[in-house]
Chains A and B, each alone.
Chain A
Amino acid sequence: MGAKKEIMNAPSQDVIVTRVDAAISWMRKNSVWPMPMGLACCGIELMAVGASRFDIARFGSEVMRFSPRQSDLMIVAGTCVYKMAGVVKRVWDQMPNPKWCMAMGACASTGGMYRSYATVQGVDRFLPVDVYISGCPPRPEAVLEGLMAIQRKIANEQALHAMKTGIASAPTHQPVTGPVIVRGDYATRR
């Protein structure tokens, strides 16, 4: 008890010194609120990511926001057809900066097995995708790894610069890595 009191009384022990940039990035990366763009079967797997077994809440992303105005990360989970592309784009445009985008599964990344007239051959045709996750559908672990990749990206960003310029992914002293590709087939599946 006495020791604790001593610490409480010593102001120097209570202070953490950091850069504002780093603090903002740290806060951001641990409260990434996803916009679940569940368009097909991958959407079901995304629900598993949110449920108790895999529990995306461990990474601060449990609050799936169905309002684009309150979300930071768009997870495109599923097959995007051209008819839907405009809707996805509009939702993306409504999300406030800074924002990130994850293409979950083969369909969202490349069109997947739907090489046809109706399907967008990868949502990167109209969205700036940060992380691609392979798999059909990817394991929930892979989605979590994708989220961690996004967190690493956020941690590398210069938040203040981004605020000033309005560009979400501002280049930093440690350049933000380009799109990340996450392997979707985890050992639990094989």
Chain B
Amino acid sequence: MQRVVERDKLLETCRQLKADYEMLTDIAGVDNFGEDPRYEVVYHLYSFQKHEYLRLKVKVPEDDMIMDSLVSVWKTADWHEREVFDMFGIRFRNHPNLKRILMWDGYPYYPLRKDFPLAGIQTELPEYAEDAGKAEAANMLGGPFFGGTGTTSSREREPRQYDTPAEQQEKLKS
């Protein structure tokens, strides 16, 4: 089941839903780049009595990226919300400890946003890691590489690195 919830009604809705849906299994952020509102947060709830999942979708506009934290309802929301904050920069009101969870403190970007390059952007490393150099953009060498889903043999489906774009084109044609 799926339900779209207004952003300001989320906390209240969830308080009521808690009676049926005891477990919050996941929170995901979505960046619908080019749409308005741009962001979306998806909650997955599970009911042990009904053996049923419920998916809640909340739209978050780009110019006001803050929403209510659900830590007061499900404690497990803590780390999930930190991850959404870390990857998308969506803030959660009344979160007990809203800091980055995967990237280091002080990292200036939100890497899962669609306008962030997969290879990354050159960045200073945190203080404790200074002598490990800089976080540099990865050399993509024509990637990212996809395996493809055709009926060809797995040997051909295997993603490979091509040293030049021409070589890659040639391969794709054949």
Q: Which of A86, A116, A117, A121 contacts B129 (CB 8 A)?
A: A86
Cβ-defined partner of A117 (8 Å) among B120, B126, B132, B141: B120
Of chain A, the residue at the smallest CB distance from B121 is A117
Contact (Cβ within 8 A) A126 B131: yes
Q: With the chains together, A88 CA to B136 CA distance in Å?
A: 17
Q: Say whether B144 faces chain A, with CB atoms less than 8 Å apart.
A: yes
* CB proximity of B143 to chain A, nearest CB, Å: 6
Query: Which A residues, 34 to 63, have Cβ-Cβ distances below 8 Å to chain B?
Result: none
Contact of A86 among B111, B119, B125, B144 (CB under 8 A): B125
The yes or no answer to A7 lying at the interface (CB within 8 A) is no
A111 touches B138 (CB 8 A): yes
Given A116-B120, A121-B136, A121-B138: A83 touches B103 (CB 8 Å cut-off): yes
Contacts of A85 in B (CB 8 A): 125, 129, 132-133
- The interface on chain A, measured as residues whose beta carbon lies within 8 A of the other chain's beta carbons, has a size of 19
Q: What is the CB-to-nearest-CB distance from B132 to chain A, in angstroms, rounded to a whole number?
A: 4
Q: Are A117 and B140 in contact (CB under 8 A)?
A: no
- Kindly report which residue of chain B lies nearest to residue A123, judged by CB atoms: B132
| B interface residue numbers (CB < 8 A to A) | 102-104, 109, 111, 116-121, 125-126, 128-133, 135-141, 143-144
In the A-B complex, the 9 residue pairs with the smallest Cβ-Cβ separation, listed nearest first, are: A86-B129, A117-B120, A85-B132, A126-B132, A89-B132, A82-B135, A115-B138, A86-B128, A83-B104
Known: A83-B103, A89-B132, A115-B144. 12 other contacts (CB 8 A): A82-B104, A83-B126, A83-B129, A86-B125, A86-B126, A90-B128, A115-B143, A116-B118, A117-B109, A117-B116, A117-B119, A119-B138
- Interface pairs (20), CB distance under 8 Å: A83-B129, A85-B129, A85-B132, A86-B130, A86-B131, A87-B129, A89-B132, A115-B140, A115-B143, A116-B119, A116-B120, A117-B111, A117-B119, A117-B121, A117-B137, A118-B103, A118-B120, A119-B138, A121-B138, A125-B136
